[in-house]
Amino acid sequence: MFLPLGTEDLVSLNQIVALVRSGNRTEILLRDRTSVVSGLTPLTLARRSRALWEEGRRERDALMERLRETSHPLSSP
């Protein structure tokens, strides 16, 4: 899973150690001891991550439905 930081920036959740809110910014501390700064709150970041996951799930379901309609071999479990 990923944490969307902006319109095109993503960070893998496997790389995140902590989210630290200070003033108007959130510092995302990473396993490699670097950090990324976002103006979004941790709650907003979590909501965006959840929304991205749900969007991916809907797209997967739609693709699988189209494959089933064409009897594509990838549509079988």
Q: Is 11 domain-assigned?
A: yes
63 within some domain: yes
Q: In what order do the strands lie in the sheet with 25-30?
A: 16-22, 25-30, 35-38
The mean predicted confidence, pLDDT, of the chain is 86
The count of structural domains within the chain is 1
Question: Residue 52 — pLDDT band, cuts 50, 70, 90?
Answer: confident
User: Looking at the domain assignment, is residue 73 inside a domain?
Assistant: no
What confidence tens digit (pLDDT) does each residue in 25-40 have?
Answer: 999 999 999 999 988 8
Identify whether 50 is part of a domain.
yes
Q: Which of 53, 39, 54, 42 is nearest to 2 (CA)?
A: 53
State residue 19's pLDDT score: 92
- Which residues form the domain of 57? 2-67
